[in-house]
Structure 1
Amino acid sequence: MRLANKALVIIGGTSGIGLAAAQAFIKEGAKLILIGLKESAHSTLDELSSPSVEVIFADARMPETAQSGINRCIERYGDFHGLYHVAGGSGRRFGDGPLHQMTLEAWNQTLELNLTSLMLSNQAALKTLVELEHGGSILNLGSILAFSPSPKYFVTHAYAAAKAAIEGMTISSAAFYAEKNIRLNVLAPALVESPMSQRAMTNDEIMAFSRSKMPLDGGRVGRPDDLTEAAIFLLSDASKFTTGQVLHIDGGWHLSEGQNP
């Protein structure tokens, strides 16, 4: 089992990509603390009843959330080895969109949801791993929109800015903490089945575009389990010589022109 005896915290682990990762990590022997919002928790969470899993309902945007989860991980399992930050989401409901139309409130809310929450979790994880002195791994969820935009169908400029900043912060942190044997990497998916993607997945025009933009495996939308194998690798000892990487799991998105229907 590739994550045997690893004590990990998943921020955003109660639904979507994070919950799919949790299910896979358990099979690989991990001991988990899952943190997420109660109102967004998926019913599948009830199936994770295990002495190797504990769920904490809390908001990742709050300064104390990540550190409390990490402290609980150490209290329950005796150690802490890594963090997977999945929490985030579209800023459309705040007014994120084209830059000339965006309000300052929309900008601030979107960055708080996607970037500030991640900064707080990474900061807490790094402080703890430095104190523990045994190294570890931090994995952050980015987005293909950080560098490969879709100006017609996915116009959320604050979201793109946040995801690009995640790459910059992760890479610069990876350089700084490498000598302490702490690794930081990013997974950058394109469109993946999740609560956040329902707007796109229920729009026939966007789905027709998506099939040409992500041509791999029949032009389908990504599934949460498309990310889990990479996440397992980057949180396990198999990746002990890998840091500062951005892995695009995007079905070929960044290689394709995409055809507007």
Structure 2
Amino acid sequence: MTAALFSLDGKTALVTGAGRGIGRALALGLARAGADLVLLGRPHSQKATAATVSALGRRVRVVDLDLSDPAQVRATAARLATEEHVDVLVNNAGIIDRRRAAEIRPADWSHVLDVNLNSLFFLTQQLAGPMVSRGSGKVINVASLMSFQGGLNVASYAATKHAIAGLTRALSNEWAGHGVQVNAIAPGYIVTDNTQPLREDPNRLHAITDRIPAGRWGEPDDLVGAAVFLASGASAYVTGHVLVVDGGWTAR
């Protein structure tokens, strides 16, 4: 009975940015829970993830897409809404631009917003439509500790992650009555390419690690349990929530 609550057998999950790091871990975790996968992201970046999903015995489709191109995102999302029965949408793809606010050029700002926020909204707008019509579905957005804090020299990233938390709640309010749960996962400091500059700076590395009650940085696999929970029937009455997975950082 308990295992059935978390099973994703017969479900199809679409994961963005599944080529590495958190996206790859979430895609493989959902596949191990029983889901078939659609992997959407940068061209030629997701082949290894797709091969592993296939080896797990799950159907997998790779869709190459430049998430910084709003027109391309809208067109691809509309097509996928007719071609795939997406039960779970995981909006994971994101980039970070580390520079002082005074140094951010308009193109830099727009690029981060297009990848992190605008693509997320337009994908969700198209792919959640059929969920609402069917009366069931799951949307999982990947937020951040920067959904609650300002960080250092990451103004555009912080802006998008604050917006993702707000959008999660707004969409939940619209769709909860239609059987669609919209939630987010807010990772703490995770060992990924995005955090490599922090880990290469001895002062930042020690300052951050010393503040984490768990005593270590997270690994991408530390987020899988939260994703499976939010993707499964176990979270049928959980919506509009931002689930922090941070080793205790925000409790400190």
TM-score above 0.5: yes
CA distance in 2, matches of 1:250, 1:7: 28
Residue 198 of structure 1: how far off its partner (Å):
1.8
Residue 118 of structure 1: how far off its partner (Å):
0.7
Do 1:9 and 1:83's aligned partners in 2 also have CA atoms closer than 8 Å?
yes
The answer on 1:87 being equivalent to 2:93 is: yes
Residue 128 of structure 1: how far off its partner (Å):
2.0
RMSD of equivalent CA atoms: 1.9
CA distance in 1, matches of 2:46, 2:179: 34
| Mapping for residues 22-33 of structure 1, pairs under 5 Å | 22-33=27-38
* Corresponding residue for residue 67 of structure 1: 78
Q: Which runs of 5+ in 2 are unaligned?
A: none
Do 1:35 and 1:56's aligned partners in 2 also have CA atoms closer than 8 Å?
yes
CA distance in 2, matches of 1:83, 1:251: 25
Could you say what secondary structure the match of 1:174 adopts? Answer: helix
* Corresponding residue for residue 62 of structure 2: 55
CA distance change for structure 1 residues 70 and 200 in 2, over 3 Å: closer, same or farther? farther
* Corresponding residue for residue 134 of structure 1: 135
CA distance change for structure 1 residues 45 and 51 in 2, over 3 Å: closer, same or farther? closer
Scaled by the length of structure 2, the TM-score of the pair is 0.88
CA distance change for structure 1 residues 32 and 44 in 2, over 3 Å: closer, same or farther? closer
Do 1:60 and 1:66's aligned partners in 2 also have CA atoms closer than 8 Å?
no
CA distance in 1, matches of 2:51, 2:195: 23
* Corresponding residue for residue 101 of structure 1: 103
CA distance in 2, matches of 1:24, 1:111: 28
CA distance in 2, matches of 1:183, 1:55: 25
CA distance in 2, matches of 1:14, 1:240: 29
Matched to 1:174, the amino acid is S
CA distance in 1, matches of 2:75, 2:246: 33
CA distance change for structure 1 residues 39 and 197 in 2, over 3 Å: closer, same or farther? farther
CA distance in 2, matches of 1:16, 1:66: 23
CA distance in 2, matches of 1:68, 1:21: 24
The aligned length equals 241
Q: Which runs of 5+ in 1 are unaligned?
A: 75-79, 257-261
Do 1:8 and 1:73's aligned partners in 2 also have CA atoms closer than 8 Å?
no
CA distance in 2, matches of 1:196, 1:41: 17
| Mapping for residues 35-46 of structure 1, pairs under 5 Å | 35-41=40-46, 43-46=48-51
Could you say what secondary structure the match of 2:24 adopts? Answer: helix
Cα deviation, 1:113-154, whole Å, max 9, x if unaligned, reads 1111111111112222123x2311100001101212333xxx
* Corresponding residue for residue 120 of structure 1: 122
Could you say what secondary structure the match of 2:230 adopts? Answer: helix
Residue 51 of structure 1: how far off its partner (Å):
4.5
